[in-house]
Amino acid sequence: MKPFKAGWIDYGRRCESPHFNARPDGEVSLLVIHNISLPAGKFGTPFIDQLFQGCLEVEADPSFCELKGLQVSAHFLIRRDGELVQYVSCDDRAWHAGVSCYQGRDGCNDFAVGIELEGTDNIAYTDEQYQQLQQLTLALFEAYPMLNVGSIVGHCDIAPGRKTDPGDSFDWPRYKMSLVDKGN
């Protein structure tokens, strides 16, 4: 059985975002790993869902004033406890990469799936997050054959100088070896 139907994974929590549009060519060939916490360094809050749904309570924290009216989304979020949340169908373009370039191609949102990890650049991610990330990545590989271990990057790789996530705390060898060990 295929893990996706119309770009939606068959497990996890669905929390649809209005911040997406059609992929111009329908191509999915890049996987971008991000991190997010709202407020910065705080975990388990409802604010990530609110941000991606366009209803962030900007009065809830002084740091949110700069986010007022921001229209962003990701395809997925993996919370600290391993919970998987999907905001946008992988068949559509989520608005996660911003100004970006990969191998000479601008506008990575056009062809990338964005996965946010609840975290920061300098706080270690959890075992549950790595387990969920591995499971999700393998499901994406199955559903989108242009994806493979070589087509996984950090936000920092496609927006250098502008973005640093997923940061030094992300264990790239652990993550990629978990995929190679599964034959990918």
Catalytic residue numbers read: 116
Dihedral angle of Cα 109, 115, 121, 123, to the nearest 10 degrees: 170
Q: How far is CA 141 from CA 40, 52, 62, 116, 152, in A?
A: 31, 25, 40, 17, 11
Dist. CA 106–CA 109, nearest whole Å: 9
Q: How far does CA 90 lie from the centroid of its chain?
A: 11
Dihedral angle of Cα 52, 54, 60, 63, to the nearest 10 degrees: 70
Dist. CA 172–CA 178, nearest whole Å: 10
